Structure 1
Amino acid sequence: MRVMITCFPAPAHFWPLVPYAWALQSAGHDVRVVAPSGFPSPTGIISTDFAQRVTESGIVAVPCGPPTPLAVHDCDDPDFADVLPNPEETERYVRALSVHERVERDMWDVFYHYAILAIRNYQPPRPREDIDEIVAFAKDWRPDLVLWEPWFPCGAVAAKASGAAHVRTLISPDYTAWAHERFVSKGLPSMLAEAMQPLAEHHGVTVDDELLMGQATLDPIPAGMRLPTRTPTVPVRYLPYSGGSVSQHWLRAEPTRPRVAISLGVSARAVDKGDSTGRIPALLEAVDGLDVEVIATLNKDQLSDQVETLPDNVRAMDYVPLSQLLPTCSALVNHGSFGTVIAGIAHAVPQIVCDTDEPTRFFGRATPDGVEWDRTSPKQGYSTLTANYLADRGAGSRLDHQKQSISEIRSMLRRVVEDPKVRDAALRLREEEWASTPTPAQLVPWLEKLAQER
């Protein structure tokens, strides 16, 4: 059968989908990744060479439309200013939706400040040429099945317009379903449905729950990390992939002392152009003098003006694939993104997740030169969720550099590296909550049946 995969054109959105493409392709199906052409957005949130990233994975890429600025982040839509996140609107919705400040506020913040804004970049009030080309390709190629991720729901429109079966494929906790259900339960117009309406009408498609939530949802989120929604899902194992790479010769030798990886996110540093929070200096000071070897995947922007000299036991490298680094590590210090945390779980590595009590919000103000962004916190949107998940299971700890002293951070590092109970918990987490879930390859017959029934 023909399978079309669509996603936001950025590695962080594509990489979680690669194992599905491989599984379907290995089963003899024709798989294409269909997405907008890359664009050198100054925001850094999309890839300038997205088609190349796809072909490097061994999948056929179908770039659609000319390189085009983002509707909101790059001010390409005339009404971009109307949908910029602002403090008044977010608080108004918090009250209208009865969002519980302590329990649910992070869920709302990730949806409002990140997910819906990403969706509006490619689903603005005036349909875009690149998205129209995606729908046109689907009508011409006639896929049997479309896989799409929630931050790029135009894939559902392409599926409906071409008559294909379509499956929503989560790449992170299900913030869009949680928010959509909350709007509906309060009798309010769904922000997600409103964002999809112009594109759907343009292509003669009805906006309903199937369009918004898919005919089915593949869910790689561990049960203890899922958001409370009524949307039924099909569990699947998240298989970490971080791009093609050349084997690192120095990683073949056994470490002479425990190795600790520090990974604070490639996507985040592309957007933030550094780290002004003081987190990196605190981490480096804490590991200084410990009997560990530290591999810190930090670039020059993250080190400049913050770190005069690296500790003797720290090796800073711009990038090392986690798939190669983690099997050699005794601990992983990270920013709490879903993909990084699951990679640690897959390799049974104890983890420390950097998190703070700050909100995950940012606001935009239109200016003559574009948008002036005000980020109240650069922390990862999922960090509290992932930190609590690991800590509750004894497989890691939560690190708040704003409240914990260097001595406390150092003690935490020692415990995570040396305590056999933490290592056992990490191994148990891998076996009981990750390895016990069906792989994408095991779900191929189910996907084939879904497409045939359609």
Structure 2
Amino acid sequence: MRVLMTITPGTGHTYPMVPLSWALQTAGHEVLVASCGPGLALGEAGARTVDVAPGLSLDRMVGELMRNHPEVAAKLLQEASGVPYLEVVGGAVAAALRLQPELVDAVIRTAEEWRPDLVVHSPLFTPGMVAAAKLGVPAVQHGFGFVNPSAEMMGELHKDLFDAHGVALPEARATIDITPPSVVAPEPGMWSARFAPYNGSGPLPKPLFDLLNSAPDRPRVAVTLGSGPVPGEAALVLERIAQAAPKTDAEFVVVLPRIDLEPFGPLPDNVHTFDWVPYSALLATCSAVVHHGGPGTALGAMAHGLPQLMPALKGLGRPVVAKAIADRGLGRVAEPGEIGPELLESVLADTSIREAAAEVREEMRAMPAPYDLVPRLEELAAR
């Protein structure tokens, strides 16, 4: 098969699709990725890529949405209560894509030129569905965890795009969901797949290599606020961690690729900071994770059976993820100002959280691997 992957230019949307790309290529299929910015990270992982909008990233798209449609951006970043998140994010993405006609046109044009047998697209990325419909091939939505909107909803929210190309939703469709069913129940008909951690490649600086290959003599806690737009309360979260560290019998590894730590002054001796860390390798040495409520971060913690502590941050689906984790008993949600030694040590010591985390880890290990989906994709394309 020829498989075209069309991806929203965000790291959190891209990395979950890497394992399926590997599975398809090792089965002998040809993969081409049409994206831009962080979406091109699949190239580092071995896929051929086409940059359909040089210089464009998810951050820039959000920035332009804020300038042109501040009321829509405000809903996305603040998640107004009473409005379903899927409706908020679906409407925001449709509005953001209308501001990027070159990106939309380039994705569809690439598909028409390359003629794939199957289009795999990230959630919310309607140009991929339109391209599949125009070519008469199946469209497969690959979720990034916790949020998997229906094609029908996106088709309605971005109806003008489908109408402009004279198509309806592709007749043959499938949706891959990587969230453990006990955490978020999948919609009927979704294909469950095991989350396979991937977070980039590159050389390891010697201090990082030494850290990842050492056995800590006390609990190690990973702290990350994600690869997307920096949460508004990031500074308070980091300040609270820095204040709590000297009073907590633990070691903290803070991964902050986009935050300037200079204003915080000298950090405690039991706090290590890095711009980038291979997340799964770090978690294999940790006892807990403090994070922003990002889907990939939460899934990575679940894959390692780790308790999670999430500051109650607004926007970009963070409350959705935090609620799902707390409801399943995998961790706790607290206001940023509540983070302190007592809370951190109580999460580390909570046996009920650790037991629930171990249950979900085993549940994930029993889910179909990405390569198990390849025959299903072959069958779908052959219809």
TM-score interval (norm. to shorter):
0.7 to 0.9
Aligned counterpart, 2:223: 262
Q: Judge conservation of contact 1:123–1:195 (CA < 8 Å) in 2.
A: no
The yes-or-no answer on 1:297 pairing with 2:297 is no
Which SS does the other structure have where 2:253 is aligned?
strand
Aligned counterpart, 2:160: 198
Aligned counterpart, 1:353: 310
Q: 2:95 aligns with which of 111, 120, 130?
A: 120
Q: Judge conservation of contact 2:222–2:288 (CA < 8 Å) in 1.
A: yes
The yes-or-no answer on 1:57 pairing with 2:17 is no
The yes-or-no answer on 1:440 pairing with 2:375 is no
Q: 1:427 aligns with which of 342, 358, 361?
A: 358
Q: Judge conservation of contact 1:168–1:217 (CA < 8 Å) in 2.
A: yes
Q: Judge conservation of contact 2:123–2:149 (CA < 8 Å) in 1.
A: yes
Aligned pairs for 1:132-143 within 5 A: 132-143=105-116
Which SS does the other structure have where 1:342 is aligned?
helix
Aligned counterpart, 1:238: 195
Aligned counterpart, 1:285: 243
Aligned counterpart, 2:173: 215
Which SS does the other structure have where 2:51 is aligned?
strand
- Equivalent-residue separation in structure 2 for 1:121 and 1:426 (angstroms): 36
Identity %: 32
Q: Judge conservation of contact 2:146–2:321 (CA < 8 Å) in 1.
A: no
- Equivalent-residue separation in structure 2 for 1:16 and 1:265 (angstroms): 14
Which amino acid counterpart does residue 300 of structure 2 have in structure 1?
A
The yes-or-no answer on 1:414 pairing with 2:335 is no
Which SS does the other structure have where 2:222 is aligned?
strand
- Equivalent-residue separation in structure 2 for 1:87 and 1:67 (angstroms): 24
Give how far 1:311 is off.
1.8
Which amino acid counterpart does residue 311 of structure 2 have in structure 1?
C
Q: Judge conservation of contact 1:7–1:151 (CA < 8 Å) in 2.
A: no
Which amino acid counterpart does residue 201 of structure 2 have in structure 1?
G
Q: Judge conservation of contact 2:145–2:179 (CA < 8 Å) in 1.
A: yes
Give how far 1:249 is off.
1.9
Which SS does the other structure have where 1:291 is aligned?
coil
Which SS does the other structure have where 1:158 is aligned?
helix
The yes-or-no answer on 1:108 pairing with 2:84 is yes
Which SS does the other structure have where 1:176 is aligned?
coil
Larger radius of gyration: 1
- Equivalent-residue separation in structure 2 for 1:336 and 1:68 (angstroms): 25
Q: Label 1:262 to 1:158 Cα distance change in 2 as closer, same or farther (>3 A).
A: same
Which amino acid counterpart does residue 340 of structure 1 have in structure 2?
T
Aligned pairs for 1:146-225 within 5 A: 146-174=119-147, 176-177=149-150, 180=153, 192-193=154-155, 195-206=157-168, 208=169, 210=170, 215-225=173-183
Which SS does the other structure have where 2:284 is aligned?
helix
The yes-or-no answer on 1:22 pairing with 2:22 is yes
- Equivalent-residue separation in structure 2 for 1:69 and 1:446 (angstroms): 32
Gaps of at least 5 residues in structure 2 are none
Which amino acid counterpart does residue 16 of structure 2 have in structure 1?
P
Aligned counterpart, 1:249: 209
- Equivalent-residue separation in structure 2 for 1:72 and 1:315 (angstroms): 32
Aligned counterpart, 1:372: none
Which SS does the other structure have where 1:332 is aligned?
strand
Which amino acid counterpart does residue 418 of structure 1 have in structure 2?
A
Which amino acid counterpart does residue 277 of structure 2 have in structure 1?
V
Which SS does the other structure have where 2:72 is aligned?
coil
Q: Judge conservation of contact 1:122–1:131 (CA < 8 Å) in 2.
A: yes
Give how far 1:118 is off.
2.6
Aligned counterpart, 1:449: 379
Give how far 1:451 is off.
0.5
Give how far 1:280 is off.
1.7
- Equivalent-residue separation in structure 1 for 2:267 and 2:152 (angstroms): 44
TM-score (norm 1): 0.74
Q: Label 1:308 to 1:140 Cα distance change in 2 as closer, same or farther (>3 A).
A: closer
Give how far 1:165 is off.
1.3
**Deviation per residue, 1:151-178 (Å, 9 max, x gap):** 2111011111112111112123336339
Which SS does the other structure have where 1:268 is aligned?
coil
- Equivalent-residue separation in structure 1 for 2:157 and 2:70 (angstroms): 10
Gaps of at least 5 residues in structure 1 are 39-46, 95-100, 181-191, 357-378
TM-score (norm 2): 0.86
- Equivalent-residue separation in structure 2 for 1:60 and 1:281 (angstroms): 42
Q: Label 1:158 to 1:172 Cα distance change in 2 as closer, same or farther (>3 A).
A: same
**Deviation per residue, 1:410-445 (Å, 9 max, x gap):** 22321332344433332122002x112111111111
Aligned counterpart, 1:391: 326
Q: Judge conservation of contact 2:6–2:125 (CA < 8 Å) in 1.
A: yes
